[in-house]
């Protein structure tokens, strides 16, 4: 079954420390992977997608097909990075594409 | 262009009642998905509509239903409300849920069941 797992519900780091939000997926084909972010009192929005291989707000994510992971990383955390982060997968299942979200990780960056 | 609009923003209902939530997608987007967001469960997929047809469905009971109109606007209905239905309900639209398509979210409807 298709699944996205984010093992940490809460991750606290100090400002300037490296950040890694973990995401593992289960999918039999070649999925598209995304990271979405929800800042306080704002709507959920796309942060980055693996197909673009981009760095947004200093965040990067590499798709590791061997480990079926798509961890989100940033070398130096900022207080404004505090938010809820969701890893998502889009893949074909029974003829249609489905979007599957993980349960989310709340990142708290401490001053 | 205008973003995804959800109405109402807040609702308080009593157990046993029913409720209808509305979602207006971004102009030109034909795919509309609904999610339930709770602190403990994160984002749970309810269903997805495309061109007035339900294309995907999550694992929610039949009390949760939806529909999509010809202008792509969508409604979600919950009947016989239970306390556990209290959550933030999010709607997301995309041009088409095919592959690497970004989903645009509304601000949600906060439903409280008392």
* Among B104, B88, B89, B101, residue whose Cα is nearest residue B26: B104
> Nearest C-alpha of chain A: how many angstroms from B82?
22
Cross-chain residue pair A44–B90, CB shorter than 8 Å: yes
- B9: which chain A residues are within 8 Å (Cβ-Cβ)? none
Between CA A73 and CA A80, with CA A76 as vertex, the angle to 5 degrees is: 90
Residue A101 has pLDDT above 80, yes or no: yes
Q: Give the residues across from B93 on adjacent strands.
A: B32, B104
pLDDT in tens, B8-57: 999 999 999 999 999 999 999 999 999 999 987 888 999 999 999 998 88
Q: Among partner residues A34, A49, A102, which is closest to B42 by beta-carbon distance? A: A102
Cis before residue B8, ω within 30 degrees of 0? yes
> Nearest C-alpha of chain B: how many angstroms from A54?
14
A52 phi/psi in degrees, rounded to 5: -85, -20
pLDDT in tens, A35-94: 999 999 899 999 998 877 788 899 999 889 889 999 999 999 999 999 999 999 987 776
What is the chain A residue with the closest CA to B44? A101
């Amino acid at each position: 079954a298709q699944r996205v797992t984010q093992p940490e519900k809460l991750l606290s780091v100090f400002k300037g420390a490296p950040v890694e939000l973990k995401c593992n997926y289960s999918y039999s084909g070649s999925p598209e992977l995304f990271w979405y972010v929800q800042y306080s009192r704002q709507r959920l929005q796309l942060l980055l997608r693996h197909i673009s291989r981009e760095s947004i707000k200093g965040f990067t994510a590499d798709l590791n097909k061997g480990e079926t992971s798509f961890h989100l990383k940033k070398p130096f955390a900022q207080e404004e990075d505090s938010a809820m982060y969701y890893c998502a997968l889009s893949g074909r299942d029974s003829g249609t594409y489905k979007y599957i979200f993980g349960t989310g990780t709340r990142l708290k960056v401490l001053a | 262009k205008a973003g995804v609009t959800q109405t109402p923003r807040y609702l308080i209902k009593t157990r046993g009642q029913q409720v209808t939530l509305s979602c207006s997608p971004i102009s030109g987007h034909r795919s509309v998905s609904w999610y339930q967001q709770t602190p403990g469960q994160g984002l749970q997929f309810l269903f997805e509509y495309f061109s007035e047809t339900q294309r995907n469905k999550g694992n929610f009971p039949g009390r949760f239903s939806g529909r999509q109109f010809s202008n792509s606007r969508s409604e979600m209905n919950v009947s016989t409300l239970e306390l556990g239905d209290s959550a933030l309900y999010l709607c997301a639209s995309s041009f088409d849920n095919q592959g690497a398509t970004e989903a645009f979210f509304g601000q949600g409807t906060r439903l409280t069941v008392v």
